Amino acid sequence: MEPPSYPVYPIFLELAGRLCVVVGGGPFAEEKARGLLAAGAVVTVIAPEVAPGLAGLAAAGRLEHRARGFQAADLDGACLAFLCAQPPEVVAAVRHEARRRGVLVNTVDDPPHCDFIMPSVVRRGDLAIAVSTHGKAPALAVRLRERLEREIGDEHALFLRWAGSVRGELAAQRPDFAERREAWYRLVDSDVLALLRAGDEAGAARRFAEILGVEPA
């Protein structure tokens, strides 16, 4: 039986220290630039003029602003490019140069000219949940994200922080992978998250240590 096919391949990228180019200077460009900066990317914005928020980021040295139109060399060394509210001739030029350089392009609100789709994301510390409709109904993705935001609280961020703090010690104490996996599932299926949600951090920590045999930090 042939496996099912899907329109996109979901993936989370490590962008720390990598160059990403944003072509455009309006609100959408600022949104993309801020998201990239939060991921540790090196950001260059290409636009004759930019919104005050982008100007402030440039003045603070958070990103580079090239106050002109797009040039092919702007993509040298880039891994991603974002096109925000650009005319068709600029979209065509950027996509042409991006293909030559192997740079993936996202064109805001223009799925046919996207190499990748930006999902609607819920973040709780190290937890990231992405929702995509492949550009067919972004409003649905937003509503699903809002539902998840109501159901998934900050307790998940603390849970993950604790989990990360004990992974090394737990591996040393329980070198058998199957045994560790069983312990992790017992933890995830336990009442630790419910205790955190109720504000009983001390009780949650005791229960956490009882299940794994390791104190969370």
Mean of the pLDDT values across residues 142-169?
Answer: 96
At residue 90, does pLDDT exceed 90?
yes
H-run or E-run covering 82: strand 78-83
What is the pLDDT confidence band of residue 38, given thresholds at 50, 70 and 90?
very high
Amino acid at 37: L
d(CA 4, CA 166): 38
Average pLDDT of the chain to the nearest whole number: 95
129, 122 Cβ separation under 8 angstroms = yes
Domain 19-118 fold is: Rossmann fold (3.40.50)
- Sign of the C-alpha dihedral, residues 85, 80, 99, 118? negative
The residues spanned by each domain of the chain are 19-118, 119-152, 155-212
41 vs 132, residue with greater confidence: 41
Per-residue pLDDT, 56: 98
Rg (alpha carbons) of the chain, rounded to whole number:
22
At 110 the pLDDT is 87
Q: What is the mean pLDDT of residues 140-145?
A: 94
Beta pairing class for 42-46 and 127-131: unpaired
**What tens digit of pLDDT does each residue of 110-125 get?**
888 999 988 899 999 9
Give the model's pLDDT for residue 9: 87
Backbone angles phi, psi at 79, to 5 degrees: -110, -30
What amino acid is encoded at 138 in this protein?
P
pLDDT of residue 4: 72
Q: Using one digit for the tens of pLDDT, what is the confidence trace for 9-35?
A: 889 999 999 999 999 999 999 999 999
Q: What is the mean pLDDT of residues 187-213?
A: 97
* 103: pLDDT strictly greater than 90: yes
- The model carries a pTM of 0.84
Inter-residue contact 132 to 126 (CB < 8 Å): no
pLDDT tens digits for 77-87? Answer: 999 999 999 99
Where does the pLDDT of residue 93 fall: very low under 50, low under 70, confident under 90, or very high at 90 and above? very high
Class of domain 119-152: alpha beta
pLDDT of residue 1 exceeding 70, the answer is no
Rounded-to-integer distance, Cα 179 and Cα 193, Å: 22
